[in-house]
Amino acid sequence: MLKNKNILLGVCGSIASYKSASLTRLLVKAGANVKIIMTSEATNFITPLTLSTLSKNPVLVNYYDPESGVWNNHVELGLWADLTIIAPASANTLAKLANGLCDNLLSAAYLSAKCPVYFAPAMDLDMWKHPATQKNIDTLISNGNILIKPAYGELASGLIGEGRMAEPEEIIEFVSEEIKKKLPLRGKLALVTAGPTYEAIDPVRFIGNHSSGKMGFAIAEELSALGADVTLITGPTSLKLSDPKIHRIDITSAHEMLKASEKAFPKSAVAILSAAVADYRPAEVSDVKIKKDDSDLSLNLVKTVDILATLGKEKKAGQILVGFALETNNEEENAIAKLRKKNLDFIVLNSLRDEGAGFKNDQNKVTIIDNKLSKESFPLKSKKEVAIDICKKVLDLLS
């Protein structure tokens, strides 16, 4: 959930600021880009050098650095951030933010922020329970900020009660879950097929194609990033998934892909079939390796079951079914015929005649045609970017 997010981390003066080091490390490990603003009081508890080393960015404390002559623009910081986390949030900072005071860089960046703001209070029990603190927290929440509740336990004063800042792991989990709640495909199941199929001739040889699976893997990753629970059914490929949440099913033949797809499809809100499934398979498969001799070898081929057409017949109202068409001639005409015949919501057309696109390449050039024959053509892009375009079309249809 945090990968590639721009996160502004605010660190206030509190004994709990030592936890900011672990929080920074976890955010960076999750793939986030982290910039840190410390209040001057926070530097008494943990050094800017520590957090700068962990975040891989300079730590900001003041509006202006007299040594470098650099002006730290609070407006740019507020606009840069995808989300802001203030942890620890001291009682003093909570009071400033709730009342719009702007006497340091952190409070100024907060007032400029256009993103969700999370705050994790840390203070002693009596300070936490004080009506003024609770009023400030209520004000912050009413302004749209998100509270990460403090924990119950032993405090720095020796008292036992509420006021301990949430642990860094808990903050990461809380923020991730909050982000996930807002994702457009949250709670929806998605099916993606990818890669080639191999149709056996004998235990050694097979009929296959040059599909790498890159397009399907990129689509599966993007759907998961949008909140969907993704099942990826893939033919033989060396590709690895970066998202552990995706349920991967490895198959070899068209028949195996058919069976796995039929099982996953009924509950899927979205199915994007990008696999290059073999259209034919040998009628007979030898149990032993066929020996080479002087005569020619003839293979009797029979058609495989058309997975896309099969799911098109099973499709229910509300389901989105997407297919691919890789063509060498009469591209649009052939793609539209496939779109109609197989009951698709839209089809992704790509041509082997486009230089730099197609199998094995990291780029693709596609045209999306929907069932109303609305057409949108895209320039040559990375397959990750193409996946974003395809998923945007899915979101448009679902909305």
Catalytic (active-site) positions = 209
In the 3-class helix/strand/coil scheme, how is the chain assigned residue by residue? CCCCCEEEEEECCCHHHHHHHHHHHHHHHCCCEEEEEECCCHHHCCCHHHHHHHHCCCCECCCEECCCCEECCHHHHHHHCCEEEEEEECHHHHHHHHHCCCCCHHHHHHHHCCCCEEEEECCCHHHHHCHHHHHHHHHHHHCCCEECCCEEEECCCCCEEEEECCCHHHHHHHHHHHHHHCCCCCCCEEEEEECECCEECCCCCEECCCCCCHHHHHHHHHHHHCCCEEEEEECCCCCCCCCCCCEEEECCCHHHHHHHHHHHHHHCCEEEECCECCCEEECCCCCCCCCCCCCCCCCCEEECCCHHHHHHHHCCCCCEEEEEEEECCCHHHHHHHHHHHCCCCEEEEEECCCCCCCCCCCEECEEEEECCCCEEECCCEEHHHHHHHHHHHHHHHHC
Q: What does the alpha-carbon distance between residue 5 and residue 365 come to, in Å, rounded to a whole number?
A: 27
Q: Is 188 annotated as a binding residue?
A: no
Q: Is 289 annotated as a binding residue?
A: yes
Structural tokens at position 116: 């969700």
Q: Is 324 annotated as a binding residue?
A: yes
Q: Biggest alpha carbon distance in the chain? A: 95
Q: Is 263 annotated as a binding residue?
A: no
Q: Is 293 annotated as a binding residue?
A: no
Q: What does the alpha-carbon distance between residue 364 and residue 355 come to, in Å, rounded to a whole number?
A: 9
Is 344 within 8 Å of 364 (Cβ atoms)?
Answer: no
Q: What does the alpha-carbon distance between residue 222 and residue 167 come to, in Å, rounded to a whole number?
A: 30
Q: What does the alpha-carbon distance between residue 363 and residue 310 come to, in Å, rounded to a whole number?
A: 29
Structural tokens at position 337: 């015929």
Those residues whose C-beta lies under 8 Å from the C-beta of residue 381, and which sit 6 or more positions away, are 363, 364, 365, 389
Annotated binding-site members: 279, 289, 324, 338, 342
Annotated binding site for CTP: 279, 289, 324, 338, 342
